[in-house]
């Protein structure tokens, strides 16, 4: 396998979408957003054929142009996805690479007074934009959403909130079971905040003023700040931490706002919506640094509890950490491609 | 400093106490227990002098004869405590080394249907036994309790429950703020249980059948099992885990039983008792593996909240992990010795 | 700072070079190679101006298209380098991004019967190719070479071997002081080989047959195999390990072939060449996983020992590991740009 | 299994030996040394029976009274050894627990101008002292030596140097293959010395002035200093480090003095002596932090190379680190007890 660029059998369009709902977003982030749309081989040959679509969203700190990143001995997902369709291993799909980056590193794909209305942007702007310009099958039964980490979270919750749009999903090590994936981070964060007078905004000012990720605190505090902006903004839109910044002790009211967004805890509230899904792919590495293998197990148990039939669910834990699991994406894509209505 | 045995200036008696309340304890552990009682230099010289007493309890898996363990370049606490009194740096105290070991590694110094009535044993058997045989000042104002880790936990809760007995305490990295010190362990435990059909009793049988601590699972599962026996035994006395053994998800009812024993959460329920204390020493290492520095910070904040005057509290975080902090014990002992009524 | 693509003020050409010396390389790797050449802002405005050139080489497993990779909160080097020239902070240079990838992950920029003649390719093919097509100052006093890790190694040795071509260098955490950077890897490798009958080629076959980097052994064994191919190929070109694959014990004859390539040990043999250099930038992170901070310190001491004047050397250790130090590259580039003859 | 003291079936004498060769040792350490001698059950019953003897030596920082230390869920070696004889699983031996502690933490059981003549003390003072006072079989065929870590090193070298005294040995994770067990420590040490002006004696002064092992540097620098005192003292007896304290680079002349003490490299020089041994037990944990599993493997390969018959060697690697492997000691003791002449 050569490491340099590969020609695609399909076509990848680098588009730009002008979002109305992100205009005036609280962080002043751009509302003109990149959007990559891939059409499979053969798309341009027969204008009568319509295709299912899969929306792909990213993990925390991801932005759409990172999909072009190359790594040794592995091909980028854009290419492995293309190879899947080119080889005939999976029937063709339109694949939409969505950007939901914010200045805090991510949006969790929710509407938030702290970051902006990224859920609405995704559902009410990106989806119609794609359906209007590409020969998709514009129906929930033919539309899926997939992602890793925060993107896996987004892939779990978006079909719960909008079952009219999405009938299938794939989550790779998606954020869930918040007691295990988040609480230990709060302990680390509280310690790191000792250097910043227990004020995360002091860290944020420092972070903005220098080369990013040169201090031990950076990764943890960025995530804690950004997810607070998504899940627990104050009335003024400023992030409120779910823990005491001196001791790390949970603040029950704020923490409850986070728990309300825990897929494991949303399962019962959205039981009907989940039962309506035609295909759910769940996987995670058994050594995931955020215990997301356990979270995925808990979410899968929740699906069983509310009556999602086993044959619609693919569940796998494998030997890996949270990192370098991009090779799982084409497995899920192929599985979804065979299950979406066409 | 020579590493071998040192002569004590005071005297250490190795006694045995026959406990009535531990008879028929559910684990079949011995009810005849070792008890070490130390009297300071001069004790035998003047039979009219009475002394304050400090009860010293141990961390998880500790038992009383471990106090004789020697380590390179450090003297055992029994000797550093003795040196304190011998040098005149601290006024003499009777120091009582209590054994509360169980087959599961510890008792958390509570009364439990899972392990036995170790709280009652300590308060209603050991204390009177000592007072009857040694010239203590048999009064709460002259009696303290001190310990590390689980022993620090015991030192925090025992005066809350029995303010009639104990008027002072010292906790070194005591267990508290359970969301941070315990929940991450549950995640680790749930993973480790995969090798045991998600059944911790299978691990326990395996553990009992071979050399202890030769498997990665041993330390985590022993603690989880043992503390469950202490805090959340079932009606039959068998330990109930506070989390789902497949996913690690918290089981709210069982978890609440643990939280009821969290010193941070007991503070408000025992505000009056805490306000009655004459001296509270709290310390922990800033890199404690169980975030007990943060727990100690939270407990200290709780004391302030309920009105314990600052001048009665000594609080310090220092650069250390949870390990090798025995050199802190004589610091606390000296501080207490100066503050106990005599 | 926006995370998506940035327009360059200069121009980046994506070229291809057809190498004669890599034709028939032993690994069957391509001899048509990508080459990126960057010209600074203003280059196209005045055809009379000639520029110094800086050749940039990559760390192990790097290949040239990885320079386009994007990361959160940091700009790629191509862009930070461009910004340097655009802002006037550094006078313009031609920057040449060289590809020396092999199937084993790298070439160490040496001529080897195990991988190919990458040193000759770089010096006798790439340099003349660039000088023939771009308005460089084709002189050693105006030509530098820079890199990180294995690229830092290449940047240290290439001017020693070819002082007629390169008069300056920058090494970021370059491989050197082999007892510290390599020997611990041999211990790890020997252990990992237990799973492969102590035969690294068995691992290599396995590695080639599946998704890369999904096994713990992969990173260490790839490096050990590849560097053996570079430094100690057998007469048949096959890599010979410098250690016993059962015990990790050094094999003195093979190990000596590695030591002959240790920059710290080359210093005395190439003292005159090193004294001829006009600028040497050396840096590394103080927590480098391969002790390359110590190696850099040893190399710097060697330069002093053989009489390289202090004023020609920039030396800095900073708080970092081996990772995420790309922000150091523009610092070195700027420093070199001010020191190259023009 | 109860955790408190156990009655021995045999008898353990706590003796003191007055050493002539340690008088005037360079560190001013005591020359009156504790010595524990254990006699098996039945020893006092029949004064005609003589027993083989096994000398047990300790790892770095060990001293003889540490043999009394107790740990949870494990019995001390003194007790597991006693149980072996009491149960009849092994025929009775006299077991001698030797103290070779120094102010630097150990002696490596060699004669050194830096620490003292501990090899001579062991061989020419302790052995005759025991044989004079206990009914041993005072012959090499009935005398073994055993130890862990530095004690394993001592157990490997002492019979090479004194085959007239020792005819059998057991090494648990003994120090050997110095490129792997020591060189990485030199890298760590060089870094740690940055805080001490690159002068290890500055660290030593600091270490002596405060609570030991409260700084990250302590464990590594103590070992490096102490082993330098043993293997490479200067003419004045002061330790000379085998590496440059700025860069960690090996100093070949000093390093060679260490290598001269590497059991793996002594094998060929002492081939005859090794061939004369009747029993050699070698084991180590596969995850030993100092790669001593690999060292043990290399030493075992050396024995085969010089013609030690396989049936005289027991070799085993098992799943463990360097720590908590005391449960291996009775396995070796039993094996030796069956093989010593009686």
Which residues, in sequence order, are bridge partners of residue C57?
C147
Residue A2 predicted with pLDDT over 80:
no
Nearest one of B172, A214, B276 to C324, comparing CA atoms = A214
Helix orientation angle between A183-192 and A218-231, rounded to the nearest 10 degrees = 120
Rounded Cα distance, C105 and A71, in Å:
11
- Reported as a single tens digit per residue, the pLDDT across B250-268 is 999 999 999 999 999 999 9
For residue A133, give the H/E element and its range.
helix A127-133
Range D178-193 average pLDDT: 98
Indicate the pLDDT class of residue A28, thresholds 50, 70 and 90.
Answer: very high
A95 contacts A133 by C-beta, under 8 angstroms: no
Does the beta carbon of C255 lie under 8 angstroms from any beta carbon of chain D? no
Of C63, C71, C327, the CB nearest to A4: C63
Rounded Cα distance, B248 and B302, in Å:
29
D317 contacts D286 by C-beta, under 8 angstroms: yes
| Helical H segments across A162-233, by residue range | 178-181, 183-192, 200-208, 218-231
User: Could you tell me what percent of chain D has a pLDDT over 90?
Assistant: 98
> Token pair for residue D31?
């020359």
Q: Do B187 and A294 touch (CB under 8 A)?
A: yes
Which residue of chain C has the CA closest to D262?
A: C249
CB neighbourhood size of A103 (10 A): 20
Of B64, B105, B213, the CB nearest to D324: B213
Q: What is the 3-state secondary structure (H, E, C) of B290-337?
A: CCHHHHHHHHHHHHHHCCCCHHHEEEEEECCCCCCCHHHHHHHHHHHH
Q: Please, which residues 221-240 of chain C have a Cβ atom closer than 8 Å to chain D?
A: none
User: Which pLDDT value is given to residue C200?
Assistant: 98
Which chain B residues are within 8 Å of D64, Cβ to Cβ?
Answer: 4
- Reported as a single tens digit per residue, the pLDDT across A169-208 is 999 999 999 999 999 999 999 999 999 999 999 999 999 9
Residue D178 to chain C, least CA–CA distance (Å): 9
Residue C149 to chain D, least CA–CA distance (Å): 18
Indicate the pLDDT class of residue D1, thresholds 50, 70 and 90.
Answer: low
Q: How many residues does chain D have?
A: 342
- How many alpha carbons fall within 13 Å on the CB side of residue C229? 26
Give SS3 for A290. coil
Residue B57 to chain D, least CA–CA distance (Å): 16
- Reported as a single tens digit per residue, the pLDDT across C174-222 is 999 999 999 999 999 999 999 999 999 999 999 999 999 999 999 999 9
Does the beta carbon of B71 lie under 8 angstroms from any beta carbon of chain D? yes
For residue A314, give the H/E element and its range.
strand A313-318
User: Could you tell me what percent of chain A has a pLDDT over 90?
Assistant: 98
Of D179, D183, D246, the CB nearest to C297: D246
Range D318-342 average pLDDT: 98
Does the beta carbon of C315 lie under 8 angstroms from any beta carbon of chain D? no
User: Which pLDDT value is given to residue B175?
Assistant: 98
- Reported as a single tens digit per residue, the pLDDT across A274-319 is 999 999 999 999 999 999 999 999 999 999 999 999 999 999 999 9
Q: Which residue has the tokens 């009696």?
A: B143
- Interface partners of chain B (CB pairs < 8 Å, 3 or more) are A, D
User: Which pLDDT value is given to residue C1?
Assistant: 55
Rounded Cα distance, A95 and D68, in Å:
68
Q: Do B74 and D3 touch (CB under 8 A)?
A: no
Q: Please, which residues 89-128 of chain C have a Cβ atom closer than 8 Å to chain D?
A: none
B243 contacts B186 by C-beta, under 8 angstroms: yes
B181 contacts B60 by C-beta, under 8 angstroms: no
Residue C157 predicted with pLDDT over 80:
yes
Indicate the pLDDT class of residue A225, thresholds 50, 70 and 90.
Answer: very high
User: Which pLDDT value is given to residue A3?
Assistant: 86
Work out whether strand B279-285 and strand D143-148 pair parallel, antiparallel, or are unpaired.
Answer: unpaired
Residue C289 to chain D, least CA–CA distance (Å): 11
- Helix, strand, coil shares of chain C as percentages rounded to 5? 40, 20, 40
Complex confidence, ipTM:
0.96
- Residue of A16, A214, A215, A219 to mutate when probing chain C, most C C-beta within 10 A: A214
| Helical H segments across chain D, by residue range | 77-86, 118-120, 127-133, 150-161, 178-181, 183-192, 200-208, 218-231, 252-259, 263-266, 271-275, 292-305, 329-339
Q: What is the mean pLDDT of chain A?
A: 97
For residue A318, give the H/E element and its range.
strand A313-318
User: Which pLDDT value is given to residue D189?
Assistant: 98
Q: Please, which residues 168-207 of chain C have a Cβ atom closer than 8 Å to chain A?
A: none
- Reported as a single tens digit per residue, the pLDDT across C305-333 is 999 999 999 999 999 999 999 999 999 99
Does the beta carbon of D68 lie under 8 angstroms from any beta carbon of chain B? yes
Q: What would the DSSP string read from start to end of B274-294?
A: HHT-SEEEEEEETT-TT-HHH
* First-to-final CA distance of chain D: 33
Q: Do D70 and B61 touch (CB under 8 A)?
A: no
CB neighbourhood size of C89 (10 A): 12
Residue B201 predicted with pLDDT over 60:
yes
Q: Do D187 and C298 touch (CB under 8 A)?
A: no
Which residue of chain D has the CA closest to B321?
A: D214
User: Which pLDDT value is given to residue C2?
Assistant: 77
Rounded Cα distance, B113 and C205, in Å:
58
User: Which pLDDT value is given to residue C226?
Assistant: 98
> Token pair for residue A315?
């569940």
- Reported as a single tens digit per residue, the pLDDT across D193-241 is 999 999 999 999 999 999 999 999 999 999 999 999 999 999 999 999 9
Q: What would the DSSP string read from start to end of D146-199?
A: EEETHHHHHHHHHHHH-TTT-SEEEEES-S--HHHHTHHHHHHHHHHGGGGTT-
Q: Do B249 and A187 touch (CB under 8 A)?
A: no
Of D66, D72, D101, the CB nearest to B105: D72
Rounded Cα distance, C203 and C192, in Å:
9
Which chain B residues are within 8 Å of A294, Cβ to Cβ?
Answer: 187, 190-191, 247-249
Residues B72/B73/B74/B75 CA torsion (nearest 10 deg): 90
- A-C interface (Cβ pairs under 8 Å ≥ 3): yes
Residue A4 predicted with pLDDT over 90:
no
Residue A6 predicted with pLDDT over 90:
no
Q: What would the DSSP string read from start to end of A242-275?
A: SB-TTT--B-HHHHHHHHTT-HHHHTTTTHHHHH
Q: Do D3 and B101 touch (CB under 8 A)?
A: yes
Which chain D residues are within 8 Å of B64, Cβ to Cβ?
Answer: 4
Residue D82 to chain C, least CA–CA distance (Å): 35
User: Which pLDDT value is given to residue C122?
Assistant: 98
Does the beta carbon of D287 lie under 8 angstroms from any beta carbon of chain B? no
Which chain C residues are within 8 Å of D286, Cβ to Cβ?
Answer: 191
CB neighbourhood size of A41 (10 A): 16
User: Which pLDDT value is given to residue D319?
Assistant: 97
Q: Do D294 and C187 touch (CB under 8 A)?
A: yes
Which chain A residues are within 8 Å of C34, Cβ to Cβ?
Answer: 4
Q: Do B212 and D74 touch (CB under 8 A)?
A: yes
Which chain B residues are within 8 Å of D319, Cβ to Cβ?
Answer: 214
Which residue of chain B has the CA closest to D100?
A: B3
User: Phi and psi at residue D15, in whole multiples of 5°?
Assistant: -105, 175
Does the beta carbon of C305 lie under 8 angstroms from any beta carbon of chain D? no
Q: What is the DSSP letter of A125?
A: I
Which chain A residues are within 8 Å of B264, Cβ to Cβ?
Answer: 249
């Amino acid at each position: 396998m050569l490491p340099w660029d590969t020609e695609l059998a399909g076509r990848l369009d680098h588009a730009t979408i002008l979002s109305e709902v992100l205009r005036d977003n609280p962080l002043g982030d751009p509302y003109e957003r990149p959007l990559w749309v891939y059409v499979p081989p053969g798309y341009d040959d027969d204008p009568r054929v319509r295709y299912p679509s899969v929306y792909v969203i990213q993990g925390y700190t991801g932005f759409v142009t990172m999909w072009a990143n190359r790594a040794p001995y592995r091909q980028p997902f854009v290419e492995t996805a293309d190879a899947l369709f080119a080889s005939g291993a999976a029937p063709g799909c339109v694949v939409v690479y969505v950007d939901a980056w914010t200045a805090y590193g991510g949006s969790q794909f929710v509407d938030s007074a702290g970051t902006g209305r990224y859920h609405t942007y995704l559902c009410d702007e990106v989806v119609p934009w794609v359906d209007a310009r590409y020969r998709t099958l514009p129906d929930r039964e033919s539309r899926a959403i997939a992602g890793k980490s925060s993107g896996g979270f987004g892939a779990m919750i978006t079909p719960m909130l909008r079952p009219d749009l999405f009938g299938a999903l794939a989550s790779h090590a998606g954020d869930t079971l918040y007691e295990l994936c988040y609480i230990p981070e709060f302990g680390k964060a509280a310690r790191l905040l000792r250097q910043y007078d227990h004020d995360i905004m002091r860290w944020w000012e420092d972070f903005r003023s220098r080369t990013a990720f040169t201090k031990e605190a950076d990764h943890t505090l960025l995530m804690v700040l950004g997810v607070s902006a998504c899940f627990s903004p104050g009335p003024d839109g400023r992030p409120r931490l779910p823990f005491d910044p001196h001791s790390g002790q949970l603040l029950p009211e704020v923490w409850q706002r986070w728990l309300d967004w825990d897929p494991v805890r949303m399962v019962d509230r959205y039981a009907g919506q989940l039962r309506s899904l035609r295909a759910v792919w769940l996987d995670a590495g058994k050594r995931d640094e955020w215990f997301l293998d356990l979270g995925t197990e808990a979410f899968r148990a929740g699906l069983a509890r509310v009556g999602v039939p086993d044959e619609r669910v693919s569940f796998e834990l494998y030997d890996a950490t949270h990192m370098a699991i991009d090779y799982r994406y084409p497995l899920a894509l192929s599985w979804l491609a065979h299950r979406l209505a066409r």
